Chains A and B, each alone.
Chain A
Amino acid sequence: MVRSKSISGTIFDTLNILFMLLLAAVTLYPFWHVLIGSIMPYEESIRSVIYLFPQRPTFEAYHYVFSKDTLVGALLVSVFVTAAGMLYQLFITAITAYPLIKQDLPGRTFIFMYIIFTMFFGGGLIPYYLLIKSLGMVNSLAVMIIPAAISTYNMIVLKTFFQNIPLELEESAKIDGAGYMTIFFRIILPLSVPALTTIGLFIAVGQWNNWYTPMLFLNDKDLWPLAMVLRDILINNNMELTRGGSYVSQEFMLGDTIKNAVVIVSVVPIIIVYPFIQKHFVKGVMIGSIKS
């Protein structure tokens, strides 16, 4: 793209770049503030307004977080719920998307509409709550995994991806006597690894961040994932974890520092997988929003 280098153009470019830098700062600073807040000693934090870097960083808050059974337990629950939920949801979504690419499958439109309809209409919160209750899934980790079997949106994205796999591959496998189940596992899935990875990571982020389901259905604090513990600490201001037992005075001072540390512990895994998702998500968003 060749464009003239007029004075107004240069001014525009400069302002634009400054704006972008400002935007980046506005986006990142809150995270930085929390990160620094988690390693800044209490006395220092009450004195400073803007945290750039602590003079004497301390990792006390992290020691504390990882020494608490509740928080370590919550971390394990989160890891389990994320991994199991991701594999389960990915499998169900993929195995549903594949049959729907067969244009001449009798009843295909009906099945598709049956699935799509759930995106647009539902019974609402209360009937769902009563259902889960009557199924005995209250206070069971199953509620974090089983009900969210399929995401319609992801199913459409995967279906679009499967549609672009050349039919010839499937036909030649069929000549070798392979059934549809074999074709799905041996040909379709291996060829779809990029799409599956992206969608899997999206599901994982959703599972990791899920505080809503545990809030509704898990009263037993031992079953709480990190997102729910985080909510309890940050939103309900429950200081039991940040100020417990015999350490009252010390931990009162640590309070905010610990809050910050918990935020960081919950955000770090997302930041770690973020580059992997980013590589694909533009494609995912496009397929999902345009082609469907």
Chain B
Amino acid sequence: MKEMQAKIANPKTAQPLKAPNDVWRRILKYRMLYVMVLPSVAFLFIFHYIPIYGASIAFKDFWVTKGILGSPWVGFEHFEKLFRTDKFWQVFRNTIEINLLRLAFGFPAPIVLAILLNEVRNRLFKRSIQTIVYLPHFISWVTIAGIIFTLLSNEGLVNKAIIALGGDPVNFLTSNGMFRPLLVLSGIWKEVGWGTIIYLAALAGVNPDLYEAATVDGANRFKQILHITLPSLLPIISILLILNFGSMMNGGFDQVFNLYNTMVYESGDVIDTYVYRIGLTQGEYSVATAIGLFLNLINFVLLVIVNWTAKRIGGQGIY
């Protein structure tokens, strides 16, 4: 009986053999398990792998009537045309610049908030604040954009307040100077609370004795944060920072698409929204696919690099 339990507890001793017929035996034994994974393997094949094949229209002169197979190959023509288009480089630059802004302001925000939340002593108060700040994460950008419009439009709350105080109304929604701050700030508003979860979890593992010892040594709260809290967050901060670079080309379609308008294309149009417009609004399937493919390739390479770096630094990657 004990032997059997040991075998169950340690699957390695249960199957010591790796002979070929052993593989067949296991396949036969597990045949039901293959049936179980079959639906998602099939669905992913249809809805994910077939579109990867469909991306071949980036190298073709695609005609809907001719289909993917029937359309003639044109090689890199679409890419060459694309790389000569100013608009493409504009959205390319916009995407990177907006993401650098998000990195500069949106990335540190949850770290700061987590540190401050960690300093709140009253547990009930801390929990209530957490409950409140996590909430916007679950609201869609459509709804949030709608709320932002009611608050920031020319007749909205903020402009009413500005006028009441004797100022001139500000075009928050249609000026190129305002659009990027709007993206960054609304992004922080929506996600800052949610972003603290991972940091707070890391802080929950810090030994309270450290703080006590520091207090005995006469360290004030600020010094404790600087010398205990922050260092214990550093590993997770560095990993998340690296992972962040993996989504550098991701423009945040939901947010931009719901907030932007033709007046702010210059500062706010990103690759994803551009692909959507030229592909589905203007029907330039091949060019839009070429951009999408280019974007996905960059993303893929970035992810591989980022994951490799994260694994070397912290021993953890995304996959």
A1 cross-chain contacts in B, Cβ below 8 A = 121, 208, 211-212
- CB-CB under 8 A from A271, the residues of chain B are 135
Complex CA gap A179/B143 in Å reads 47
Q: How large is the interface on A (under 10, 10 to 19, 20 to 34, 35 or more residues)?
A: 35 or more
Q: Report B-chain residues with C-beta under 8 Å of the C-beta of A180.
A: 30, 32-33, 36
Distance from B234 Cβ to chain A, minimum over Cβ atoms (Å):
16
Question: Is A289 in contact with chain B by the CB < 8 A criterion?
Answer: yes
Residue A118 interfacial (CB < 8 Å): yes
Cβ contacts A258-269/B at 8 Å (1 or 0 each): 011001001100
| B interface, CB within 8 angstroms of A | 5, 8-9, 11, 15, 23, 26-27, 30, 32-37, 39-41, 43-44, 46-55, 57, 64, 68, 113, 116-117, 119-121, 125, 128-129, 131-136, 138-140, 142-143, 145-151, 157, 160-161, 164, 189, 193, 197-198, 201, 208, 211-212, 215, 220-222, 253-254, 258, 275-276, 279-280, 285, 288-289, 292-293, 295-296, 299-300, 303, 316, 318-319
Let me know if B41 and A124 touch, CB within 8 A: no
Q: Check if A102 sits within 8 Å of B189, measured CB to CB.
A: no
Q: Which residues of A contact B23 (CB under 8 A)?
A: 106
A251 at interface (Cβ–Cβ under 8 A)? Answer: no
A4 CB contacts on chain B under 8 angstroms: 215
Given contacts A9-B221, A24-B129, A92-B39, contact A259 B198 (CB under 8 A): no
Return the contact of A234 from the options B33, B128, B149, B293 (Cβ within 8 A): B149
| A56 interface hit (Cβ, 8 Å) | no
A278 touches B316 (CB 8 A): no
Residue among A50, A111, A130, A146 with the highest chain B CB neighbour number at 10 A: A130
Check A34/B150 contact, CB under 8 A, given A147-B43, A149-B40. Answer: yes
Report the separation of the CA atoms of residues A233 and B279 in the bound assembly, to the nearest whole angstrom: 24
Question: A124 touching B296 by the CB < 8 A rule?
Answer: yes
Instruction: Assess the A96–B51 pair: CB atoms within 8 A.
Output: no
Q: Which residues of B contact A2 (CB under 8 A)?
A: 212, 215
Contact with B along A97-119 (1 / 0, CB 8 A): 01110111110000100111011
With contact pairs A27-B135, A121-B300, A180-B30 given, residues A235 and B258 touching in the complex (Cβ less than 8 Å): yes
By the criterion CB–CB under 8 Å, are B215 and A13 in contact? Answer: no
7 closest Cβ pairs, A-B complex: A124-B292, A127-B54, A123-B51, A234-B146, A209-B140, A99-B33, A127-B51
Q: Kindly provide the distance from the CB of A97 to the nearest chain B CB, expressed in whole angstroms.
A: 9
B146–A126 touching, CB < 8 Å: no
Closest to B240 in A: A289
B34 touches A285 (CB 8 A): no
CA distance A24 to B136 in the complex (A): 11
Asked if A286 is an interface residue, CB under 8 A from chain B, the answer is: yes
Inter-subunit contact A122/B52 (CB<8 Å) = yes
Contacting residue for B119 out of A13, A234, A270, A286, CB 8 A: A13
A27 touches B40 (CB 8 A): no
Q: Is A66 an interface residue (CB 8 A)?
A: no
Please pick, from A96, A118, A171, A234, the residue contacting B142 in the complex, using a CB distance under 8 A. A234
Nearest residue, chain B, Cβ from A49: B160
B135–A274 touching, CB < 8 Å: yes
Q: Is A191 an interface residue (CB 8 A)?
A: no
Other A-B pairs, 4, CB within 8 Å; known A115-B44, A147-B43: A49-B160, A149-B43, A149-B44, A263-B147
Question: Chain A: residues with CB nearer than 8 A to chain B?
Answer: 1-4, 6, 8-9, 12-13, 16-17, 19-20, 23-24, 26-28, 30-31, 33-34, 37, 49-50, 92-93, 95-96, 98-100, 102-106, 111, 114-116, 118-131, 146-147, 149-150, 155, 167-168, 171, 179-181, 184, 205, 209, 211-212, 216, 227, 230-231, 233-235, 256, 259-260, 263, 266-267, 270-271, 274, 277-278, 281-282, 285-286, 289-290, 292
Let me know if A263 and B39 touch, CB within 8 A: no
**A124–B275 contact, CB under 8 A?**
yes
How far, in whole Å, are A27 and B64 apart by their CA atoms in the complex? 47
CB of B232, distance to nearest CB on chain A (Å) = 14
A287 to chain B, nearest CB (A): 11
Q: When chains A and B are docked, how far (Å) is the Cα of A281 from the Cα of B130?
A: 12
Closest chain-B Cβ to A242's Cβ sits at a distance in Å of 12
Q: Chain A contacts of B288 at CB under 8 A?
A: 124-126
Q: How far is the CA of A124 from the CA of B116 in the complex (A)?
A: 41
A259 near B146: Cβ-Cβ < 8 Å: yes
- Give the shortest distance, in Å, between B114 (CB) and chain A (any CB): 12
Closest Cβ of chain B to A150, distance in Å, is: 4
Contact B145 A50 (CB under 8 A): no
